[in-house]
A and B are shown apart, each in its own frame.
Chain A
């Protein structure tokens, strides 16, 4: 069923917030799908990187409940290919920051199994905690 979107003050504020945090001119996105086509993680995502861009453009806050923003590994494959020179990884970071700045942690060190902690190098742990915890 087609979804009805309302552009109101709240959606405009959300759009502005994401634009500010990411530093990207998100409306430049022309939905070509190049980012989605090359994204190595797309199979695991619930919405594609270009869908994420579209939802932000429309101020649709439901994008905050998707898995995609947490799965972007900042590989920057899309960044070097986007014909509009946009950086989806920065938009994903902006969405994560909105959540993380409300003291939200995506991963919890106590929940990581002991055997995993033993084998994971600190480069993995520090990287994950920097990206996924507040």
Chain B
């Protein structure tokens, strides 16, 4: 299956290991990501003010690219746009839902983009990689597992953007299960914990580091107390706040014990027996290699 793929900025820089592990694992289950030609930044956060039409421009331009891909034969009748980054997923989805509800906004945007070949019509659907996996069936993952992760207890961290608000969320906002099913299909054990959908502080990390340090300490401590060896995420901003910021947490709370935080696709690539270059654990701030070795999982 060939599907239009939107990487977003961070997956081309600090989260390269997220992208590579996803693309290569997807191939194993028969999905080919076709990168959107001329994609542009989604803007990271959704436009919230009722009169703020302009900030929907960037998301909508990407949707026009999906229509062009269909027109040009890069994909066949595939108007779903696949995302990996939770923030991109959320921002693109919210813009799409907004213009579907407010046709006046869409008219204004199309008018503004008169140089585009195609008018946007609201027909693109934004989806997350986890949703495609669910649709294909988790057994497809199970069948491809070459390296057992059964010794590994994984805390699924959903954060905010995969689940909220309700009209974009991929699962129940309070009791999601999609990540748990994914982890189980990888042969690992999902950990039940309280903070799986608690906010990590998001962009406050820029000007309110202390808030993020407190939230991170709460979230990570809960994961450890619940028996987790490692945490998985699908958001590069959560990854920064929960992984890189452990250095700041440790500076404030010296007794704090580190726990690795990785992208879910890295563990997928690991379980599928893909190479070190593809699992990309060198890209994580806290490298999980030592932990994995202690669980008898060879990298």
Question: Which residues of the partner chain B approach A94 to less than 8 Å between Cβ atoms?
Answer: 49
Nearest CB on A from B263, distance (A): 13
Nearest CB on B from A117, distance (A): 9
Interface string of B27-64 (1 = CB under 8 A from A): 00000000000000101111011111001000000000
**Known contacts being A121-B14, A121-B236, is A77 close to B49, with CB within 8 Å?**
no
CB <8 Å contact, A123 and B44: yes
Question: Which residues of the partner chain B approach A122 to less than 8 Å between Cβ atoms?
Answer: 9-10, 13-14
Interface segment out of the listed A1-9, A27-35, A36-44, A57-65: A36-44
Which residues of chain B in 117-150 are interfacial with respect to chain A, using CB atoms and an 8 Å cutoff?
A: none
Question: Which residues of the partner chain A approach B163 to less than 8 Å between Cβ atoms?
Answer: 80
Nearest CB on B from A112, distance (A): 7
A51 at the interface (CB under 8 A from B): no
Interface size on A, residues (CB 8 A): 39
CB <8 Å contact, A119 and B244: yes
B interface: dominant SS: loop
B201 at the interface (CB under 8 A from A): yes
* Smallest Cβ-Cβ distance to A90: which chain B residue: B48
**Known contacts being A73-B201, A127-B87, is A44 close to B49, with CB within 8 Å?**
no
Interface segment out of the listed B207-215, B222-230, B286-294: B207-215
* Smallest Cβ-Cβ distance to B52: which chain A residue: A97
**Known contacts being A41-B211, A87-B165, is A73 close to B203, with CB within 8 Å?**
yes
Interface size on B, residues (CB 8 A): 46
Nearest CB on A from B3, distance (A): 23
Question: Which residues of the partner chain A approach B277 to less than 8 Å between Cβ atoms?
Answer: none
Question: Which residues of the partner chain A approach B160 to less than 8 Å between Cβ atoms?
Answer: 74-77
A121-B10, A131-B45 given; 19 more Cβ-contact pairs under 8 Å: A21-B50, A40-B198, A40-B201, A41-B211, A44-B214, A71-B211, A76-B160, A77-B198, A89-B48, A90-B48, A93-B48, A121-B13, A122-B10, A123-B8, A124-B206, A127-B45, A127-B206, A128-B204, A130-B45
CB <8 Å contact, B174 and A80: yes
B interface residues (Cβ-Cβ under 8 A, vs A): 8-10, 13-15, 41, 43-46, 48-52, 55, 85, 87, 160, 163-166, 169, 173-174, 197-199, 201-209, 211, 214-215, 236-237, 240, 244
CB <8 Å contact, B202 and A74: yes
CB <8 Å contact, B9 and A80: no
Query: In whole angstroms, how far apart are the Cα atoms of A125 and B163 in the complex?
Result: 23
Question: Which residues of the partner chain B approach A121 to less than 8 Å between Cβ atoms?
Answer: 10, 13-15, 236-237, 240
Question: Which residues of the partner chain A approach B87 to less than 8 Å between Cβ atoms?
Answer: 123, 127
**Could you show 8 A-B contacts with beta carbons less than 8 Å apart?**
A41-B211, A74-B45, A89-B48, A121-B14, A121-B237, A126-B44, A128-B205, A131-B203
Question: Which residues of the partner chain B approach A128 to less than 8 Å between Cβ atoms?
Answer: 203-207
CB <8 Å contact, B14 and A40: no
Query: In whole angstroms, how far apart are the Cα atoms of A120 and B173 in the complex?
Result: 28
CB <8 Å contact, B164 and A132: no
Which residues of chain A in 13-29 are interfacial with respect to chain B, using CB atoms and an 8 Å cutoff?
A: 20-23
